Amino acid sequence: MSPNEITEEELLQRVARGDSRAFDELYDRLSPRLYGLLRQMLHDERDAQDVLQDGFVQLWDHASSYDPSRAKAFTWAVMIFRNKAIDRMRALGRRTRLVEAASLEHATLGDGDSLPGADEDVQTRERAEIVRSALQQLPAEQRKLVELAFLKGLTHHTISETLDMPLGTVKTNIRRGLMRLRELLKGGRDGGAI
Amino acid sequence: MEERFEELAALSALGMLEGDEKRTLDGVILRDRALKTLCTELEATVAELAGAVAPFAPPAALKGRIRAKIRSRRTGAAKYSGNYWAFTGWAAAAALAVSSAWLWMEREKLQTNLQSATAAVATEIEQTQKAAAEQREGLEKQIAALNGEIASLQKRDALAQMRIATLQTTVEGYKQGVAVVVWDSEKHQGVLKLEKMPPVQVGKDYQLWVVDPKQPVPVDAGIVRVDSTGFAKVDFKPVTEVTDASKFALSVEKEGGVPKGEGPIVLIGP
């Protein structure tokens, strides 16, 4: 983003006022990251496109509820799109379960470079590196559980059953992993117990 | 902060909480500001994980579909205006003009439709009323015919139960006389009419008898007194019930009549 470029937060606030040009611009900036996320969550191009469409319509409708003092625009958008993807997975039910076994194996974050067609800016690439780096610092089990919960929208009970892991262990690892990520993404490198 | 609440906050941020656990967290958040802050930060942390996913450009056509969908929705369409504020007034005026013209045409169309519908309804009502009147007239005729038929049947029935008998004689001196009995078999009573009957001797009376085969002797039906011209018309009812009046007889008996016939029978019939 050039210094003169409008931030995503400002664009979202303009969208809240009904600015369709701002919406177009925001779509161009957010959609590759959000579409990438949806593809990885849903493992289906068509489902990912449907959710992306519904998500942006909702973003247009509810942009006025965005509070820039509480979250970045991308963070706010991820909450919308991820919830929609989870709803989609739960609605698909059986089909999701059929691919679940296979998809669990691939439920990993930050496992490669951008795919063709993506247009990342420097800041996005840098932020992605920070998140990937933070994930790499987590113990393997914590990382695995956080990724499963994040990408698959599975409850701790389902994860416990699927992985044949005690429920308490699942919850503890998720708590520790997420608390550690929070510190790392805030810039903390205190090296405390994980 | 208790690890238990940190755990709930982490699970909540990932959208994993359900039921009682979610209610517990929601309740504690209301009075624990630090926990609320933690929840918010963890939600942001979770959202940031999306940044680690490799971006992928969506199909180019998708953007157009999303814009079209937003435009097509009534609420969204009004809002999706862009920055072309300069055109807003003209657009609004044009829209108003078009809307007015459209509304006027709709009004005319509705009025025409209403008139047609009203005329159609009036015609239908008229036809219905006419049909009802015809039906009523037909029914009245039917009722009149039925009433006539009933009256005729009643009359026929009344006549059926009436029996007329002419009494005859072989006795000289009574051959001029005419005696007719009309007998109502249902009411067990009758009328006797006598004409040109000769007067009875002093101390004598005519007495009428009803012959019923089921009874051993003729049943007394009362005395009959004729005037100077030999005429009499009397209603009579036998002293005991007669089920089968097969014959009627007139005899000359002692004055005032007798319970059992003693004198000569001057007329009998049929």
Average pLDDT rounded to a whole number, residues B177-191: 87
Alpha-carbon gap, residue B257 to B128, rounded angstroms: 74
Residue A88 shares a structural domain with residue A116: no
- In this prediction, residue A16 carries a pLDDT of 93
- In this prediction, residue B247 carries a pLDDT of 92
The more confidently predicted of residues A3 and B262 is B262
Over the stretch A114-141, which tens digit does the pLDDT of each residue have?
444 455 567 777 878 888 889 999 999 9
Examine residue A39 and state whether it is found in any structural domain, yes or no. Answer: yes
Residue A125 shares a structural domain with residue A154: yes
Residue A81 shares a structural domain with residue A122: no
Indicate which of B48, B63, B87 best probes the interface with A, i.e. most A CBs within 10 Å of its own CB. B48
- In this prediction, residue B210 carries a pLDDT of 93
Q: Name the percent of chain B lying above pLDDT 70.
A: 82
Query: Which of the four pLDDT bands, split at 50, 70 and 90, describes residue B138?
Result: confident
- B163-269 folds as Immunoglobulin-like (2.60.40)
**SS3 label, residue A188:** coil
Examine residue A163 and state whether it is found in any structural domain, yes or no. Answer: yes
Q: Residue B142 above 50 pLDDT?
A: yes
In degrees and rounded to multiples of 5, residue B233 shows phi and psi of -140, 115
- Which tokens belong to B4? 């238990």
Q: Residue A98 above 60 pLDDT?
A: no
The more confidently predicted of residues A79 and B128 is A79
Question: Structural domain of residue A145, as residue ranges?
Answer: 107-194
Task: Give me the CATH number covering residue A151.
Answer: 1.10.10.10
Mark which of A93, A128, A149 sits at the end of a domain.
Answer: A93
Q: Residue A158 above 70 pLDDT?
A: yes
Cross-chain CB nearest to A75 (options B6, B47, B58):
B47
Indicate which of A35, A178, A184, A194 best probes the interface with B, i.e. most B CBs within 10 Å of its own CB. A178
Q: Residue A24 above 90 pLDDT?
A: yes
Average pLDDT rounded to a whole number, residues B169-183: 86
Examine residue A98 and state whether it is found in any structural domain, yes or no. Answer: no
Alpha-carbon gap, residue B81 to B252, rounded angstroms: 130
Examine residue A102 and state whether it is found in any structural domain, yes or no. Answer: no
- In this prediction, residue B55 carries a pLDDT of 87
Residue A151 shares a structural domain with residue A179: yes
Alpha-carbon gap, residue B153 to B130, rounded angstroms: 34
Query: Which of the four pLDDT bands, split at 50, 70 and 90, describes residue A108?
Result: low
Which segment, A16-25, A152-161, B47-56, is predicted with the most confidence on average? Answer: A16-25
Mark which of A45, A62, A93 sits at the end of a domain.
Answer: A93
- Which tokens belong to A71? 């979250």
Examine residue A14 and state whether it is found in any structural domain, yes or no. Answer: yes
In Å, how far are A99, A119, A175, B95, B108 from B240, measured between CA atoms?
111, 130, 120, 108, 93
CB pairs under 8 A, 24+ apart, for B160-163? Answer: B161/B185, B161/B186, B163/B245
Residue A111 shares a structural domain with residue A46: no
- All residues of chain B having their beta carbon less than 8 Å from the beta carbon of residue A120 are 55
Q: Residue B59 above 90 pLDDT?
A: yes
Examine residue A62 and state whether it is found in any structural domain, yes or no. Answer: yes
Over the stretch B199-234, which tens digit does the pLDDT of each residue have?
998 999 999 999 998 888 899 999 999 999 999 999
Contact criterion met (CB < 8 Å) for A178 and B15: no
Sign of the CA dihedral with A135 first, then A138, A141, and A145 last: negative
Query: Which of the four pLDDT bands, split at 50, 70 and 90, describes residue A10?
Result: very high
* Contact between A129 and B73 (Cβ < 8 Å): no
B61 and chain A: CB distance < 8 Å anywhere?
no
Average pLDDT rounded to a whole number, residues B128-144: 80
Contact criterion met (CB < 8 Å) for A156 and B16: yes
Task: Give me the CATH number covering residue A64.
Answer: 1.10.1740.10
- All residues of chain B having their beta carbon less than 8 Å from the beta carbon of residue A175 are 3, 6-7, 10-11
- All residues of chain B having their beta carbon less than 8 Å from the beta carbon of residue A36 are 53-56
- Chain centroid to CA A105: 18
Q: Residue A189 above 60 pLDDT?
A: no
Query: In total, how many domains does chain A have?
Result: 2
Residue A89 shares a structural domain with residue A119: no
B83 and chain A: CB distance < 8 Å anywhere?
yes
Over the stretch B154-174, which tens digit does the pLDDT of each residue have?
676 666 678 888 888 888 888
How is chain A split among helix, strand and coil, in percent rounded to 5? Answer: 70, 0, 30
Residue A118 shares a structural domain with residue A88: no
Residue A86 shares a structural domain with residue A13: yes
